[in-house]
Amino acid sequence: MDFDYDLFVIGGGSGGVRAARVAASETGARVGLAEESRYGGTCVIRGCVPKKLMVFASGYASIEAEAGAYGWDVTLRDFHWDRFKAKLHAELDRLEGIYRRLLAGAGVETFDARATVKDAHTVVLSTGEEKTAKHILVAVGGRPTRPDLPNSELGIVSDDLFDLPELPKSILIIGGGYIASEFAGVMNGLGVKVTQFYRGAQILRGFDNEARTLVAEQMVEKGIDLQLGTNIAEMDKRNGGVWVKSTNGDEAVFDQVLFATGRRPNSDNLGLEALGVALSDGGAVNVTEYSQTAVPSIYAIGDVTDRVNLTPVAIREGMAFVETVFKANPTPVDHDLIPSAIFTQPEMGTVGLSEEAAADMEPIEVYATTFKPMQSSFAGQADRVLMKLVVSKATRKVLGCHIVAPSAGEMIQLAGIAVKMGATKEDFDRTVAVHPTMSEEIVTMKVPTRTT
């Protein structure tokens, strides 16, 4: 049968764009791609990129005190949200332009339209056009969710944060995950009074306990009112803001309430289930290790599959799909030992198993040190950092590395290579320290802090 395309990609985010571009430019495939919103997707338009720029913006708040201690006369005046926002959006426009040009340059035909799947080889565009393709790749991402609570529409979600008409004076953030904890730091740094409710015992569930506890302590130290074991019970419009009653009975009015209570795959109304593509209860498209759905011509990658919801993972999944389908080189996606960073303040970088997860599996040694880093300690600040290795007693392999420190994301990228290679504690030990740095501690911890 003759198709319009070899590949039709639904969704112009990190994963979809990479797969489309590589299939077209490296294999000569005829590729079409539809995007209903903006090219670049969540990461570039309403996620990682604008978030990180806001992390940078908020980081300048501490400069005055620190520079003063180093002998500088610095006076930081007001933060102008309008000025920053205009520059931020200009940058996002620039990046979107790059994504569009990359696709055009690779010969991918793009459609600014929503696409749904009609049958195993046909998509229907919101323009009314139908396109056929030998393969369809669903890369539609996910979206933030609000809890099932009356008046929850009075709260905003992370998508809204980059378009706020003005910075609120106070914000209540609901949730204890990545987005809640990162934006608590951002808003606090920008001078907003931040309250964070997390229903569990400690934020960043699933991460190493010692690391997340240090992050939480430092967040409180920096002025965030973090209330653990607390959730929102009721909300309403009152006194020009949002009135909230918490599960412990306290009441307060906030300028804004941010729900950072998780994300859901964008698999609704795509026509997938009717075709026999299986979805999980949470709406994730079920796929094999080759990202293939139950309909052999339809594949799915990225957040819509809810495997590991990170941009570089979606990109890997897109590349593995192209290898498998267009280069006759079946390539499963390796989801093991993925380093990642949480851009809280302080930042956390992590790869491998937490101490708790490792201890559940085998006898381990833990090497950990917390200390005041030179730069902020000189300035009399209370910041503390953590360097931690979780080591298998049997194989001596480093099973996990956890860093809480300024630029921990940068450090864990490099430590991640060693851990991925299967480095042992002794491999770390025979690496000479780089002095004076914070990360040198990772190769100088001689005695286990704990063993299990």
- Smallest distance from ligand NDP to CB 267, Å: 16
- Does residue 174 belong to the site contacting ligand NDP (CB under 6 A)? yes
Nearer to ligand NDP (CB atom), residue 49 or residue 108: 49
Which residue stretch of 94-102, 160-168, 209-217, 340-348 sits at the interface with ligand NDP (rule: CB under 6 A)? 340-348
Structure tokens at 418: 């060693």
Name the residue type at position 41.
G
Q: Rounded to the nearest 5 degrees, what angle is found at the Cα of 377, between the Cα atoms of 372 and 379?
A: 160
- Does residue 265 belong to the site contacting ligand NDP (CB under 6 A)? no
Token pair 């990609």 in the structure block, residue: 9
Tell whether omega for the bond before 436 is within 30 degrees of 0, i.e. cis.
Answer: yes
Q: Between residue 214 and residue 243, which ones bind ligand NDP under the rule CB under 6 A? A: 231
Cβ neighbors of 121 (< 8 A, separation 6 or more) are: 1, 3, 132, 133, 134, 136, 297
Q: Site map for ligand NDP, 123-152, x if CB under 6 A? A: ------------------------x-----
Token pair 């229907």 in the structure block, residue: 124
- Does residue 178 belong to the site contacting ligand NDP (CB under 6 A)? yes
- Does residue 199 belong to the site contacting ligand NDP (CB under 6 A)? yes
- Smallest distance from ligand NDP to CB 13, Å: 13
Token pair 């949200």 in the structure block, residue: 81
Distance CA 193, CA 172 (A): 9
Residue 233 backbone phi and psi in degrees, to 5: -110, -40
Q: Using an 8 Å Cβ cutoff, are 16 and 10 in contact?
A: yes
Q: Using an 8 Å Cβ cutoff, are 115 and 8 in contact?
A: yes
Which residue stretch of 183-191, 196-204, 289-297, 416-424 sits at the interface with ligand NDP (rule: CB under 6 A)? 196-204
Structure tokens at 1: 């049968």
Count of residues that bind ligand NDP according to CB under 6 A: 24
**Using the rule CB under 6 A, which residue among 343, 376, 390, 405 binds ligand NDP?**
343
**Using the rule CB under 6 A, which residue among 190, 341, 390, 442 binds ligand NDP?**
341
**Using the rule CB under 6 A, which residue among 140, 172, 260, 385 binds ligand NDP?**
260
Q: Site map for ligand NDP, 357-386, x if CB under 6 A? A: ------------------------------
- Does residue 340 belong to the site contacting ligand NDP (CB under 6 A)? yes
**Using the rule CB under 6 A, which residue among 309, 331, 376, 392 binds ligand NDP?**
309
Distance CA 180, CA 269 (A): 28
**Using the rule CB under 6 A, which residue among 10, 342, 366, 387 binds ligand NDP?**
342
Q: How buried is residue 78: exposed, middle or buried, by Cβ count under 10 Å (0-12/13-18/19+)?
A: exposed
Q: Using alpha carbons only, how large is the chain's radius of gyration in Å?
A: 24
- Smallest distance from ligand NDP to CB 364, Å: 24
Catalytic residue among 89, 121, 135, 435: 435
- Does residue 261 belong to the site contacting ligand NDP (CB under 6 A)? yes
Which residues on adjacent β-strands are paired with residue 450?
366
Residue 279 backbone phi and psi in degrees, to 5: -115, 150
Q: How buried is residue 422: exposed, middle or buried, by Cβ count under 10 Å (0-12/13-18/19+)?
A: exposed
89 is catalytic: no
Q: List b or e across 224-255, with b for residues whose CB sees 16 or more CB atoms inside 10 angstroms.
A: bbbbeebbbeebeeeeebbbbebeeeeeeebb
- Does residue 200 belong to the site contacting ligand NDP (CB under 6 A)? yes
- Smallest distance from ligand NDP to CB 346, Å: 14
Q: Between residue 73 and residue 102, which ones bind ligand NDP under the rule CB under 6 A? A: none
Q: Rounded to the nearest 5 degrees, what angle is found at the Cα of 170, between the Cα atoms of 167 and 172?
A: 110
- Smallest distance from ligand NDP to CB 264, Å: 10
Which residue stretch of 277-285, 289-297, 335-343, 426-434 sits at the interface with ligand NDP (rule: CB under 6 A)? 335-343
Q: Which residue has its beta carbon closest to ligand NDP?
A: 177
400: left (phi over 0), alpha (psi -120 to 50) or beta: beta
Nearer to ligand NDP (CB atom), residue 231 or residue 444: 231
Closest by CA position to 257, among listed 246, 247, 271, 242: 242
**Using the rule CB under 6 A, which residue among 167, 310, 353, 408 binds ligand NDP?**
310
Mind telling me the catalytic residues? 435
Q: Which residues bind to ligand NDP, rule: CB under 6 A?
A: 147, 174-180, 182, 198-200, 205, 231, 260-263, 309-310, 340-343
